[in-house]
């Protein structure tokens, strides 16, 4: 899709980080916005920034738990009723937890997979039929370098993002089989400045059970915080790369070029069938 003017962008996780920057990029191309997030104050700040940068942008928000299919279906209905449909679907909401995988609680798994995995699954389920019926649209799933490279202390996050890559590839092939005029892009960034390391702030009370951090876990968490806060590519640039990828109907997007080299090294390690590949010490 190349003509974005007056089209509709649906963005989950639109209250902060990459979701906010995607909203600004889409508004800059003349799009109307449908934002979903559990962070209602964050979405209002996104709307304020959009109005300041791109006056006259039409937008609507909805408090959204992406782990709930019925709520994502409500978001699709809102987009249909307010703007007549949707064109770019950014399944972008994401959270993370940290610690050895055997210590992760049931709530840890439920929360992260609910947002990172089911948030994408339900976005696809709720919006794809609309795009096929329109014979126009593009689905953009936010995965991660962690969809290809499995570092320590992030087992649930790694599993969720690996699944997003797999689902995105399958979706693209299924749409090809259906001869649908709907594109797919999977975004796979490494560390960049967002609030992902602070995602516990939006963790629901009924999924609060987690373990006390060990010394090693605290060190890993501190290293993650540093890597995120000192990422060299700002979220605004990644958002712009993503929109340009949609314009070119590009499937894979690796904003951090080093990741592709690490993926090749991982494939070589698999070919040797030896020890586990450590992307932190390749």
Residues 23, 149, 172, 65: is their CA dihedral positive or negative? negative
Contacts for 121-124: CB closer than 8 Å, 24+ residues apart: 121/167, 122/66, 122/67, 122/68, 122/69, 122/72, 122/73, 123/12, 123/66, 123/72, 123/89, 123/91, 124/91, 124/167, 124/171
What are phi and psi for residue 139, nearest 5 degrees? -110, 130
Quick check: is 157 catalytic? Answer: yes
**Catalytic position from the list 118, 157, 226, 252:** 157
Q: Are 238 and 25 in contact (CB under 8 A)?
A: no
CA of 117: how far to CAs of 52, 68, 78, 157, in Å?
33, 11, 22, 9
Angle formed at CA 145 by CA 144 and CA 151, multiple of 5 degrees: 115
CA of 237: how far to CAs of 17, 240, 253, in Å?
12, 5, 13
- Between CA 57 and CA 14 the distance in angstroms is 15
Question: Around Cβ 54, how many Cβ atoms within 10 Å?
Answer: 19
Tell me the catalytic residues: 157
């Amino acid at each position: 899709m190349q003509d974005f003017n007056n089209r509709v962008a649906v963005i989950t996780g639109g209250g902060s980080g990459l979701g906010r920057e995607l909203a600004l990029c889409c508004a800059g191309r003349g799009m109307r916005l449908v934002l979903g997030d559990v962070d209602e104050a964050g979405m209002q700040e996104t709307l304020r920034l959009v109005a300041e940068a791109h006056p006259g942008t039409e937008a609507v928000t909805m408090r959204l738990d992406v782990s709930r299919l019925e709520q994502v279906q409500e978001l699709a209905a809102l987009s249909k009723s307010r703007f007549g449909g949707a064109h770019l679907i950014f399944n972008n909401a994401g959270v993370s937890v940290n610690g050895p995988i055997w210590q992760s609680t049931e709530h840890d798994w439920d929360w992260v997979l609910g947002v990172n995995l089911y948030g994408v699954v339900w976005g696809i389920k709720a919006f794809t039929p609309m795009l096929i019926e329109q014979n126009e649209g593009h689905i953009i799933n936010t995965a991660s370098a962690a969809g290809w490279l499995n570092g320590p202390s992030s087992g649930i996050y790694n599993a969720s993002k690996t699944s997003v890559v797999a689902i995105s590839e399958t979706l693209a092939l299924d749409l090809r089989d259906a001869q649908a005029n709907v594109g797919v892009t999977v975004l796979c960034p490494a560390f960049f400045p967002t609030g992902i390391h602070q995602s516990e702030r939006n963790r629901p009370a009924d999924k609060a059970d987690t373990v006390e951090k060990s010394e090693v876990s605290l060190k890993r968490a501190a290293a993650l915080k540093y890597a995120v806060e000192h990422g060299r590519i700002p979220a605004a640039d990644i958002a712009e790369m993503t929109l340009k990828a949609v314009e070119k109907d590009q499937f894979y997007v690796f904003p951090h070029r080093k990741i592709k080299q690490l993926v090749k090294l991982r494939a070589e390690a698999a070919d040797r069938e030896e020890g586990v590949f450590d992307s932190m010490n390749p």
